[in-house]
Each structure stands twice: as structure tokens, then as C-alpha cells.
Amino acid sequence: MKIVLMTVAMAFISSVGFAADKPKTIVDVAVEAGSFGTLVTAVKAAGLVETLSGPGPFTVFAPTDAAFAKIPKATLDALLADKAKLTAVLTYHVVAGKVLAADVVKLKSAKTVAGADVTISAGADVVLNGTSKVTKTDIAASNGVIHVIDTVLMPPAAK
């Protein structure tokens, strides 16, 4: 009986250990960072958690809470309430594939999951669409990479 109990206990401890070692997805990394609360709220509201937790790989240009704070509150509230428009805005921040900073700086544009291109200007800083500065790069996740940006990107149709 002691052997059976000990075996069960060891199996439980092992499974808990493996769960803790599970690689973190883009969504997990964003949640744990603490500076993407509005982005995570928006991803949940748009129903994109499962997608962005999937195998990918994805490259996400992730606006911080400070980036979202630049949007007037009434505009942001309306965006969060309009799932179709919110999804269009969020998917405009995602590029299929894992595109590291060393590759981003070589590009002039990138096709987003939303279908529209985001322009890329690489000089002293990397700037997207002429307005959004990349402030941190190559934050690794199990299903891709995150590059932090200081301004929310609006797709051409959402402006």
C-alpha cells in the first residue's frame, strides 16, 4: 500500500513539475510581462486567445498599455465593443512566421494576418507605418516572437 501511495504521489509531483515547465506562448508572455494589460483584454474580447496560443509561429508587434493610452478613451471603448473592428486592428499587429529583429530591419514592409501591409523604416530606430517605434525586440515565446511598440497600429480600413 505504501508503495502504491508513493508511486501515485511521485507521478503527481512529476506531472505538476512538467506543467510548470510548459513553454510560454505569446499570450502567456504578454500576460506575465505586466505591461500589456489592455492588449490582453483586447485579445480576449476579440476571441483571439486560442489562436495566439496556437502553434504559430507568429510575430506580434505588441503595443504597451502606454500605447493604448494614446487612444482617446471613447474611441478605445468603442473599439473594444466592436469585435469585427477590434479583430481587424489586432490582426494588423500580427505577421505569420517568426520574424526576428535582424530580419525586420531588412524589410520595407510585412504582410499582416489582417491582409494589409505594415510599412517598416529602419534607421536609428525601427518605425512602423511612420508612427510606431519598436522599443524592444525578440521577446521569445514558444510559438513566435514579440516586438514591443509604442503606438497602436491602425489598419488602412480602420482609420
**pLDDT, tens digit, 9 for 90 and up, residues 101-156:** 999 999 999 999 999 999 999 989 999 999 999 999 999 999 999 999 999 999 98
CB 109 within 8 A of CB 94: no
pTM over 0.75: yes
The contacts found for 10-15 with CB under 8 angstroms, 24 or more apart, are: none
Cell output for 56? 504559430
Q: Domains of the chain (ranges plus CATH)?
A: 25-154 (2.30.180.10)
Who contacts 110 (Cβ-Cβ below 8 Å, separation ≥6)? 59, 95, 99, 104, 117, 118, 120
CB 150 within 8 A of CB 140: no
